[in-house]
Structure 1
């Protein structure tokens, strides 16, 4: 029980940190994601808050980013390593995402992020078992932002508890992301 409270405290602290670095609490964009990996699927909705200042800016490109608050549903299709046995779990996550992009934030981009996730119960699917409900989620991705602001991307996502407790087998997902600004 103590570990769940610790994860919630970390998530709350990350939320406060997001507020400190934003000039507004208004959501800048929303996204919908579908992913698959390790005989599991995920569907995720998220809200993003853009960083108002670039970390680095050149004549045509910059390193900026955004805060991402997400809610996901995982469908495990080989729960406890039994083919055909299914179980769902819910995940809430908070991730700072670094994005290398054009100064006008249009066109091709690359991004990476490492965040925290709290799952409704332990993931146990296809010989991949998590020992904690608190997980780190890191990703690398690429995408394209169209002139109307539509953002379509593909990312590789990895979940792991970072060695907090064994077993720490982790799981990988390929994720398609569609986002639109407000």
Structure 2
């Protein structure tokens, strides 16, 4: 039996078709990403997002601790029970750049506070009200890292009074006075921007001139930091 010969042009077309299919297969294999890579891509995106969030949080924390950048306004009421004085006070408080410790733990910092107060004399003879102007550096230690930020504070500052007495029974000789203070309080809310606290304050002229009875003030205050 004579063998049937496949025409040459048919063989060429078959070979070309086979080569074309092989080339497409190679291209698909070359461009197809590995199966495990497609699974890794979402994880990589999540890690990138987490890093951005953590970076933003750290930046906010660092910004909060920058000195002088976020002043606080304060309103206070104080009472001297020995001499019958009510004091109404407003103040501006600053965090200075001087600080030491862990921003997410125990932190020591130096603050500066400028205040203006009105003394309302409510007892004694020849009563006289007066104004107080003061400036105080404050050493503060606080426990950060939670919603509530408790703190202790102490300071020694300068005071200038518009009169030297509030009554005949309370004459303190000089308009220039020193103010010593110890206190405690707690911050809360976003960035612990709201604070409430209590202070004991002693104001006197440190014996520069007699009489020097001193003024002891028990103070409560509320503060908001911008």
Q: TM-score range, shorter-chain basis?
A: 0.7 to 0.9
1:69 aligns with 2:111: no
CA radius of gyration, larger in: 2
Structure 2 length normalisation: TM-score?
Answer: 0.63
Structure 1 length normalisation: TM-score?
Answer: 0.77
The 5 A counterparts of 1:130-145 are 130-145=172-187
Structure 1 residue 27: deviation in Å? 5.9
Structure 1 residue 23: deviation in Å? 6.0
1:166 aligns with 2:210: yes
Alpha-carbon distance in 2 for matches of 1:69, 1:103? 25
Q: Match of 1:34?
A: 77
2:129 equivalent among 67, 71, 88: 88
1:57-83 Cα deviation digits (max 9, x unpaired): 1572021131000110001112xx32x
Q: Considering fraction of residues, name the structure with more strand.
A: 1
1:121-168 Cα deviation digits (max 9, x unpaired): 112347332110000011111101012311100001110101111111
| Total equivalences in the alignment | 155
Structure 1 residue 110: deviation in Å? 0.7
Alpha-carbon distance in 2 for matches of 1:126, 1:153? 32
Q: Considering fraction of residues, name the structure with more helix.
A: 2
RMSD of aligned alpha carbons: 2.1
Alpha-carbon distance in 1 for matches of 2:112, 2:140? 11
Q: Is the 1:39–1:125 contact (alpha carbons within 8 Å) kept by the matching residues of 2?
A: no
